[in-house]
Structure 1
Amino acid sequence: MEIRREKEGSKLTIAVEGKINAVTARDLEIVVDSELSGITELIFDLKDLEYTSSAGLRQFLAAQQIMDKQGTMVIRNANETVMEIFNETRFTDLLNIQQ
């Protein structure tokens, strides 16, 4: 998994490439924990994300809980496979997902 960050003022875009699983989810957690201070707009760009396990879903939910207190969070560009995971787990009801 590869994580790229782009910060513009209080807006942060995190692009995730590859697969999020029980091992790689920790890397995403570290980025989220270290980068969200002062951020009011968080965007996850999942264009190149192939798969996420429940460990990845937990990281998206944790980021959403932080951003509920300090701004907004959007998930963009999820492919069909990832959207199916979001739909099956009903995360579409919990997260702001834009196609």
Structure 2
Amino acid sequence: MAMNHDTENGVTILTIDGNLDAEGTQAMEEKVVALLEGGETKLLFDFTGLDYINSSGLRVLVLAYQRLKKTSGSVAICGVKDYIQEVFEVSGYDRIFPLYGARADALAGM
């Protein structure tokens, strides 16, 4: 798994590539917590290059959502592949997280 972050139009974008398995989830959680503790209020997960996400990865998304909701922040996800979107739909997470096809659409929607 590879992970990068940058900021665009006041939104912190966390790009995740590869497989978000147990090891990757721990690294992502540490990064998300650090960003939130650093005062970030808008977080966009770019999953264009994500090939797999496990339940622990979904849990980290919920953690971000819960923390940002308390501070009137926002979280969104873009670039989700069809088979990963099915995971979001089956789990009901598509009703929690705004899902966008493209990064530009997500930035405009945040």
**Is the TM value for this pair above 0.5?**
yes
Partner of 1:22: 22
SS where residue 30 of structure 2 aligns?
helix
CA distance in 2, matches of 1:39, 1:23: 24
**Percent of pairs with identical residues:** 25
CA-CA distance at 1:94 after TM superposition: 1.8
- Structure 2 unmatched ranges of 5 or more: 102-110
Matched, 1:86 2:88: yes
CA contact (8 A) 1:10 1:38 kept: no
Partner of 1:58: 59
Partner of 1:75: 77
SS where residue 62 of structure 1 aligns?
helix
Number of equivalent positions: 99
Q: Which amino acid aligns with 1:80?
A: D
TM score, norm. by length of structure 1: 0.91
CA distance in 2, matches of 1:9, 1:80: 27
Partner of 1:42: 43
Considering fraction of residues, name the structure with more helix: 2
TM score, norm. by length of structure 2: 0.82
CA distance in 2, matches of 1:88, 1:8: 31
Q: Alignment RMSD, CA only? A: 1.4
CA distance in 2, matches of 1:9, 1:98: 17
Q: Which amino acid aligns with 2:88?
A: F
Partner of 2:4: 4
SS where residue 32 of structure 1 aligns?
helix
Q: Which amino acid aligns with 1:50?
A: D
SS where residue 24 of structure 1 aligns?
helix
SS where residue 65 of structure 2 aligns?
helix
